[in-house]
Amino acid sequence: MMKIAKYVAYDIIRNRFVLLYTLFLLIVTVSMYSLDSDAGKSTLSLLNIILLVVPLVSVIFTTMHFFNSYEFIELLLSQPVNREKVFISEFLSVALALSLAFIIGVALPTVLLANNAAAVYLIFSGVLLTFVFVSLASLASVLTRDKAKGIGIALLFWIYFTLIYDGLILYVIYSFSDYPLEKVTLLLSSLNPVDLARIVILLKLDISALMGYTGAFYQNFFGSSTGAIYAFLLLLAWIIIPLWVALRKFIRKDI
């Protein structure tokens, strides 16, 4: 499995799109940290970009790569390897290459320029989010044979998790504002990988906001090791479940 992944990942790393992505992240990160003397604030500004850009690039690149590699996947499938191996290799190579881009673009300068607890969480969350959205986009790719449609579905995933889902939460909060909603909103928001990553980082960073009225509750939960494990397991589930569904589909799919 890693044999294919190794070669494909090597190919992706040299891809112009991925090089640009790395460079973009690097420039943004370095400029954020050099513009503001307050490292915490820079990490915060970086957070917005990461929560938006990392998922977006992950879904677009993964679907594009999948459809561009269609003939190559065909060739691999004519070899004596099973489909699981080919599919997981494709997933791993894309996820690892994009994670590497993220690590070079964000993690390295962050560790060098702002070594705080929040930054560590930011790096972890960035890598996990990359995997989550590569996984979701892999699912989008096997749902259809049409490249445009595949990218469309992947973008829907992205906009759903970054925007629509939060709108729904806000709607729920608004509709039931007479009830105590702390636990419900916590549960709802933790079911969205982007929200989960955001909250976990914020609790390390912008605690002043969340420490307020309902925030103390979140802080207690995510501050504990149980909360951290819960968050990690949820993100892991967001990687594994879409990937698993995609794999089932891919195995039965007619290439």
Partner 1 sequence: MKITTAACLLFITFLSQAKTWIVDQRKNITSIQKAIALASSGDTIRVMPGLYREGNLIVKKTLALMGVDYPVLDGENKYEIFTVTGKNILISGFKLINTGRGSLEDISGISAVQTKGLIVRNNKFENTFFGIHLANSSKSLIENNTLRANAEAEYQIGNGIHAWKCDSLNIRGNDIAGHRDGIYFEFVTHSHIEKNFSHGNMRYGLHFMFSHHDAYVANTFHNNGAGVAVMYTQDVNMIANRFEDNWGSSSFGLLLKDIRDSRIEGNLFAKNTVSIFMDGSSRCHFEKNVFRENGWAVKIQANCDENIFKANSFLSNTFDMATNGSLVLNKVDYNYWDNYQGYDLNKDGIGDLPFHPVSLYSMVVEKMPSSIVLWRSFLVYLLDRSEKVVPSITPESLKDSHPVMKNYDYHF
Partner 2 sequence: MITISNLNKQFGKLRVLNSISVQFNSGISYAVIGPNGSGKTTMIKCILGMVVPDRGEIKVGGESIAQNSGYRKKIGYMPQIGRYPEQMKIGQVFDMIRDLRHDEKNLDEDLIREFKLDKLKDKRMHTLSGGTRQKVSASLAFLFNPPILILDEPTAGLDPVSVEILKTKIHSEKNRNKLFLITSHIMSDLDELASHLVYLEEGKILFNDTIDLLKEETGERKLGRAVATIMQRNLKAETL
Q: Which residues bind partner 1 (CB under 8 A)?
A: 38, 40-41, 44, 47-48, 51-52, 162-163, 166-167, 169-170, 173-174, 177, 181-182, 185-186, 189, 194-195, 198-199, 202, 206, 208-216, 218
Residue that is written with structure tokens 């579905």 in the block: 153
Footprint on residues 192-231 left by partner 2 (CB under 8 A): none
244 binds partner 2 per the rule CB under 8 A:
no
82 binds partner 2 per the rule CB under 8 A:
yes
178 binds partner 2 per the rule CB under 8 A:
no
| Residue 220 interacts with which of partner 1, partner 2, none, CB < 5 to 8 Å by class | none
| Residue 166 interacts with which of partner 2, partner 1, none, CB < 5 to 8 Å by class | partner 1
**Encoding tokens for residue 214?**
């309902």
Beta carbon of residue 46, minimum distance to partner 1 (angstroms, whole number): 11
14 binds partner 2 per the rule CB under 8 A:
yes
Residue that is written with structure tokens 């990461």 in the block: 50
Which residue number, 151 or 194, has a Cβ lying nearer to partner 1? 194
Classify residue 170 as exposed, middle or buried by CB count within 10 Å of its CB (0-12, 13-18, 19+): exposed
158/150 Cα distance (integer angstroms): 13
Interhelix angle for 182-190 vs 225-252, to 10°?
A: 40
| Residue 240 interacts with which of partner 2, partner 1, none, CB < 5 to 8 Å by class | none
Interhelix angle for 83-102 vs 70-77, to 10°?
A: 140
| Residue 245 interacts with which of partner 2, partner 1, none, CB < 5 to 8 Å by class | none
User: Under the rule (CB under 8 A), what is the footprint of partner 2?
Assistant: 3-4, 7-8, 10-15, 68-72, 74-83, 252, 254-255
